[in-house]
Amino acid sequence: MRSTLRRISVAAVAAMAALTAALPGTATAQGGQEQQGRTYYVATSGSDRDSGSARHPLRTIGRCTDLVRPGDTCLIHRGTYRERVAPPSGRAGAPVTLAAYGDGPVTVDGTRTVTGWKDAGGGLVATDVDLPLARDENALFLDGGRAMEGRWPNSGSDPLNPSWAVAERSSTDQHIDDPDLPDGDLTGATVHLWAGSNPWSQQTGTVTATSDGALDFKGGNYRCTPLCMGDQNYRNYYLVGAKATLDQPGEWYYDTGEKRLYLVPPKGGMAGHTVTAKYEKWGLDLIESSHVTVRGLGVWGTSLRTGEKSTGVLVEGLRARYISEFSTLPMPRDDELAIPPGEGHIVASRVLDSGVQILGTGNTLRDSDIGLSAGTGVLLRGSGNTITNNYIHDVGWMGSYTPGIEINGSGHTVTHNTVRRTGRASIDTAWQLNGVPFKDNRIAYNDLSEAMRTSRDGSPFYVCCNLDATGTSVDHNTVHDADGQVGYYIDNSSSQFLLHHNVAYNTGTRGTFFNGHSGVSLGNRDHNSTYGAGVSTAVRLSGATDATGTYVSNDVALAPMEISGPGDPAPVVRNNLLPPADPRYTDARNGELWPRAGSPAIDAGETVDGVTTGVRGDGPDQGAYEYGAPIWSTGCNLAGCESRVRNDGWKATFSGGGDASAAVDGVQTTQWKADTNQAAGQSLTLDLGAAKTFSRLAVDAGLDATGHPYGFTVSVSRDGRDWGAPVARVAGRSFTQDAVFGQRTARYVRIELTAAGDVPWAVNEVRLYADGPDAAGTLQAERAQVVRGGERGDAATGVLGSGGLVGFRQVSFGADSPDRLTVRMASAGCGSGCALQLRLDDPKGRVVATLPVRDTGGADQWQERSVRLARAVTGTHDVYLVATGARKVAAVDWLTLRD
């Protein structure tokens, strides 16, 4: 399987582990003090009968955790460890530490190898095996990639790009009519439904009977409308878990009665192939542990959890893959619900039993890469926990309310995370599971994108319902490129949310929505937010029986606002910069929504206590960015956190003739649509204007429920004439479809349909992504992977002295060398001889540009300075901006490399 994930090289993982691993003989206490303790060593070549010394390491992590006491460390050499690890507790100031040694990746693998395959007839092989997990939580891996449980219709390898069948309108609540249904007995299969007038959640049921072109099922949430099968706007479904659906290599079926596993073998048979099955749900199980540090480890086919009584747990540098797997969406248990059970609670299915789980009090997850989960990415529950600088992606594909990050409880800090490619929300609070108050949380500097892949009624940041968020701040976040209806959605009578300095673009119909939903919407506020293209209403308040305390001010938008509802006092909406005024954004097409000189937003804001801080000029600015201050950014600084390729004014043409520029204009709410039904051979050709480097293409059909293709190929060309073989073939019918391939550098891209369809092809936006930042984009200093000689802030570095630097990994230059380096900096009193050098591949690597540093008038006075590159730069490089010449040279806000 070709994964949709960014891959970090073994060398990069080893380097990260080496930087974070505890030193031999010490364990680092979370308070910053070092507690001397004993160090045990673990290696796959060791023996659990040995002492655990450096020369005589143990074989298993579990044996090491049997031996450690508070203050002790397990240093683990590279390798795969197939075991369940449950460390004992340490003490405050003397944690038990499990750390990668630093010589390569350390993986706790929750799978076991399955052997004994024999011919089972009908093109299948089978083996007898007792899989320990529940039937609907089994997972199989073929040659290191996720194998698809037998399903109909067949789908590609990307679970966030599923193929759906569409039932006939004659279907009813528990009955499906579809003449395309496959032959064979489908009784007992799971039917996965995404159906209804406005299906805000998915659901599953069990097939009870089948006949020619029809089936009956039991279960699901048959509440009509909006969630039901029948004569509805949406009638999507697929079947999984029946032997009769096995028809393509890699598909499997487990007969729980016979304890027999069936598989469609790869072409050529099983020789040379490895199959593993999931055995451990919690490979790193800290449910009974406190004061434990887990540093630089990985989990595969399993997950990590802390417990409700855990405290003082630090998890850093975790790399997690395939953390949760399930094929059904059962109703949450009654004891998991904070309010009386009801069928509407199907939306919260699996929220509490999936993902990496940080429960308890005072625990931290940071600097981690978490991807591939049928459910939640990270569950945060309890109080006073911290989730920061993590990359969370490709999760929630089963389509319930399982998000990238689920937040329950109070006093949490959720900052500087990048959450990308989620079935529904990026960050969510589940009202049904809210059992404790939701207060005093800080949710800030997060980058949330490509959400709502398997739903429409929702948002990247979603709140539901009836929450009192007193003391909670949602600030300095960015939401963009999502297929739902809203950016920040405060739904169903939730109150006391303070939103400020947030950014939204390409989020559908609304930027922020306070939805009273026939109830109250009290004390919700939105100040100094910025709304870009792809938003039809900047802020909306509707449906509230009482909107007392609503306050919207200092916002900047390209769209109007809609605020209605009674209140005492009535909602306050004032001092916002709205159409027809031009806010003079720097580059709206690429989400750079900070104001340029002459913007009417400058100094035009009102003072809002606790919100309008760091004022420059005669008063606060309107919008999320203060002109003259450093430009803050969102998201993490790990590999994969920054990958969208800059759109410099791409062009698109349709094979049938005519301009298709609406597909590449950077505005997700504009749509290009063909004038005839889909047919194999139809194509869109993109001219990027210059050669770009990329490894993923996304074709986004926006809110359109019909216009996405049934299949397509992607080809690339440097000159627009020689194309070669396609670099990717894509199946599936999701609203946004991704093609993933090895890194390519090209100026031209062609998307060609491979199948006919009964409606015209529609595209709202085509986006490209790389494995690292685009050199032509704005490289924000606070997102640099390496900062030396100056502190990293939320919007810039401190002043760098000679030898200080910022470094960015794997920057893509394409095949056309940029002409100029531009740096936004601040400097005071450096004198002559100060400079910023642009070096490649190493802090001491070759110099390609030297930018003299001149006094800008102060260490907080920012100016843009440029210099021509001394030599051509193409391809992909690590980039370092190195200060030279004095003890205090300059602070750096951002840099670009463009013509």
pLDDT in tens, 845-874: 999 999 999 999 998 999 999 999 999 999
Tokens of 33: 């003090």
Contacting residues for 475 by C-beta, under 8 A, at least 6 apart: 442, 443, 444, 498, 499, 500, 501, 502
pLDDT of residue 15: 37
Question: 250 pLDDT exceeds 90?
Answer: yes
Tokens of 793: 């802030």
- Residue 431: pLDDT band (50, 70, 90) is low
Question: 25 pLDDT exceeds 50?
Answer: no
pLDDT tens, 65-115? Answer: 999 999 999 999 999 999 999 999 999 999 999 999 999 999 999 999 999
* 326 φ, ψ (degrees, to nearest 5): -160, 160
- Quick check: is 296 in a domain? no
Pair (391, 447) in one structural domain:
yes
- Quick check: is 807 in a domain? yes
- Residue 341: pLDDT band (50, 70, 90) is low
pLDDT tens, 761-771? Answer: 999 999 999 98
Pair (77, 184) in one structural domain:
no
Asked which of 197-206, 337-346, 478-487, 697-706 is least confident by mean pLDDT, the reply is 337-346
Pair (136, 195) in one structural domain:
yes
Question: 3 pLDDT exceeds 60?
Answer: no
Asked which of 117-131, 266-280, 418-432, 846-860 is least confident by mean pLDDT, the reply is 418-432
pLDDT of residue 433: 64
- Quick check: is 245 in a domain? yes
Total domains in the fold of the chain: 5
- Distance (Å, rounded) from C-alpha 847 to C-alpha 869? 9
* Closest C-alpha to 423, from 349, 331, 478, 340: 349
Question: 117 pLDDT exceeds 60?
Answer: yes
Pair (101, 135) in one structural domain:
no
- Quick check: is 230 in a domain? yes
Q: Ranked by mean pLDDT, which of 225-229, 411-415, 755-759 comes out on top?
A: 411-415
- Distance (Å, rounded) from C-alpha 220 to C-alpha 209? 16
- Distance (Å, rounded) from C-alpha 698 to C-alpha 526? 31
Pair (467, 368) in one structural domain:
yes
Question: 319 pLDDT exceeds 50?
Answer: yes
pLDDT of residue 222: 66
* Closest C-alpha to 664, from 706, 692, 696, 699: 699
Last residue of a domain, one of 91, 108, 125: 108
- Quick check: is 593 in a domain? no
Entry pTM? 0.95
- Residue 7: pLDDT band (50, 70, 90) is very low
Integer-rounded Cα Rg, in Å, for the chain is 27
Question: 28 pLDDT exceeds 60?
Answer: no
Question: 178 pLDDT exceeds 90?
Answer: yes
pLDDT of residue 435: 63
Pair (690, 791) in one structural domain:
no
Mean pLDDT value of segment 680-707: 92
* End-to-end Cα, the chain, rounded Å: 39
SS3 824: strand
Pair (169, 219) in one structural domain:
yes
366, 391 Cβ separation under 8 angstroms: no
pLDDT of residue 335: 77
Residue entry with tokens 């309890």: 382
Q: What is the mean pLDDT of the chain?
A: 92
- Distance (Å, rounded) from C-alpha 64 to C-alpha 83? 12
Cis peptide preceding 569, ω within 30 of 0: yes
- Distance (Å, rounded) from C-alpha 109 to C-alpha 95? 24
Pair (104, 123) in one structural domain:
no
Asked which of 34-43, 95-104, 403-412, 748-757 is least confident by mean pLDDT, the reply is 34-43
* Closest C-alpha to 446, from 458, 464, 460: 460
Q: What domain range is 791 assigned to?
A: 779-898
Question: 6 pLDDT exceeds 70?
Answer: no
Q: Count the neighbouring beta carbons within 10 Å of the beta carbon of residue 179.
A: 8
Pair (81, 174) in one structural domain:
no
Pair (734, 854) in one structural domain:
no
- Quick check: is 555 in a domain? no
CATH of the domain at 724: 2.60.120.260
Last residue of a domain, one of 512, 528, 548: 512
- Distance, CA of 37 to chain centre: 38
- Quick check: is 592 in a domain? no
Pair (189, 242) in one structural domain:
yes
Judged by phi (left if over 0) then psi (alpha if -120 to 50, else beta), residue 667 lies in beta
pLDDT of residue 465: 83
Question: 339 pLDDT exceeds 90?
Answer: no
Question: 437 pLDDT exceeds 90?
Answer: no
pLDDT of residue 29: 39
pLDDT of residue 849: 97
Question: 408 pLDDT exceeds 50?
Answer: yes
Last residue of a domain, one of 769, 792, 812: 769
723, 716 Cβ separation under 8 angstroms: yes
Q: Quick one: what percent of the chain has pLDDT higher than 70?
A: 94
Question: 144 pLDDT exceeds 80?
Answer: yes
- Distance (Å, rounded) from C-alpha 698 to C-alpha 252? 29
Rounded alpha-carbon distances, angstroms, from residue 665 to 43, 95, 652, 691, 838? 53, 53, 9, 18, 32
Pair (838, 870) in one structural domain:
yes
Asked which of 128-142, 461-475, 730-744, 826-840 is least confident by mean pLDDT, the reply is 730-744
- Residue 8: pLDDT band (50, 70, 90) is very low
Question: 797 pLDDT exceeds 90?
Answer: yes
Question: 33 pLDDT exceeds 90?
Answer: no
- Residue 658: pLDDT band (50, 70, 90) is confident
- Quick check: is 611 in a domain? no
pLDDT tens, 730-745? Answer: 987 777 899 999 999 9
Question: 196 pLDDT exceeds 60?
Answer: yes
- Distance (Å, rounded) from C-alpha 789 to C-alpha 806? 9
855, 830 Cβ separation under 8 angstroms: yes
SS3 243: helix
Rounded alpha-carbon distances, angstroms, from residue 191 to 158, 167, 211, 215, 706? 19, 12, 15, 10, 21
pLDDT tens, 505-540? Answer: 999 899 999 999 999 999 999 999 999 999 999 999
pLDDT tens, 560-572? Answer: 999 999 999 999 9
pLDDT tens, 367-392? Answer: 999 999 999 999 999 999 999 999 99
